Chain A
Amino acid sequence: MARVIEPSPQTKAPSWHFPLSVNLEPRLDSPRWLPWATTIGSVILALLITALILLWVGADPVRTFRAIYLAAFGNAYVISDTLVKATPLILTSLACLLAFRMRLWNIGAEGQFFLGAWGATLVIEAVLGKDASAWVFIPLMLLFGFLLGALWGLIPGLLKARFGVNEIITTLMLNYIAVYWVAFWVFGAWSERGFQMTPQFPRAAWLPRLTDFSAILPAFSGILLHLGFVIAMLAVALVWYLLERTRFGYEIRLIGDNPNAARYAGVNIAMMTVVVFMLSGGLAGVAGMAEVTGVVHRLQDRISPGYGFTAIIIAWLAKLNPWAVVPVAILFGGLLIGSREIQPSGLARMIQGILLFTLISSEVLNRYHIRVTRAR
Chain B
Amino acid sequence: MNFWVNIFSAGVSNGTALLFATMGELLAERSGVMNLGVEGMMLMGAVTAYGTAYATGDPWIGLLAGMIAGGALSLLHAFVVITLRADQVVSGLALTFLGIGLSLVLGEGLASATGVPTIPAFSIPVLSQIPFVGPIFFENKSALVYFGYILTPAVWFYIYRTRAGLHLRAIGEYPAAADSLGINVYAWRYLYVFVGGIMAGLAGGALSLSISPGWFSEFTTSGFGWIAIALVIFAQWDPVRAAIGSYLFGSLRRFTLDMQGVQQVFGVANPFFYDRNLQFFLEMLPYALTVIVLIVGSRAAIRKRIGAPAALGIPYVRGERGLS
Contact = CB atoms under 8 A, between A and B. Distances in A.
A196 B188 CA distance: 51
Contacts of A5: 166-167, 170, 177-178, 181
A7 interface: yes
Interface in B158-175: 163-164, 166-167, 169-170, 173-174
Interface size grouping (class) on chain B: 35 or more
Contacts of A349: 97, 100-101, 104
B105, B107, B178, B229: which has the most chain A beta carbons within 10 Å? Answer: B105
A183 B280 contact: yes
B259 interface: no
A176 B284 contact: yes
A360 B80 contact: yes
Interface of B: 36, 40, 76, 80, 83-87, 89-91, 93-108, 163-164, 166-167, 169-170, 173-174, 177-178, 181-184, 187-188, 191, 217, 223, 226, 229-230, 233, 277-278, 280-281, 283-284, 287-288, 290-291, 294-295, 298-299, 302, 310, 323-324
A22 to B, nearest CB: 6
A93 interface: no
B302 A163 contact: yes
Contact of A164 (B89, B90, B281, B302): B302
Contacts of B191: 14
25 contacts: A5-B166, A5-B181, A7-B181, A13-B183, A107-B93, A159-B294, A163-B298, A163-B302, A165-B291, A165-B294, A166-B230, A168-B36, A169-B291, A173-B226, A173-B288, A180-B280, A349-B97, A349-B100, A351-B101, A352-B97, A353-B40, A357-B80, A360-B91, A360-B94, A361-B86
Contact of A187 (B36, B100, B277, B323): B277
A353 B101 contact: yes
Contact of B98 (A14, A22, A357, A364): A357
Contacts of A351: 101
Given A3-B174, A13-B183, A173 B89 contact: no
Interface in A229-283: none
A364 B106 CA distance: 30
Interface string A354-373: 10110111011000000000
Contact of A356 (B84, B90, B290): B90
Interface in A169-196: 169-170, 172-174, 176-177, 180-181, 183-184, 187-188
A354 B105 CA distance: 13
A188 B277 contact: yes
A28 interface: no
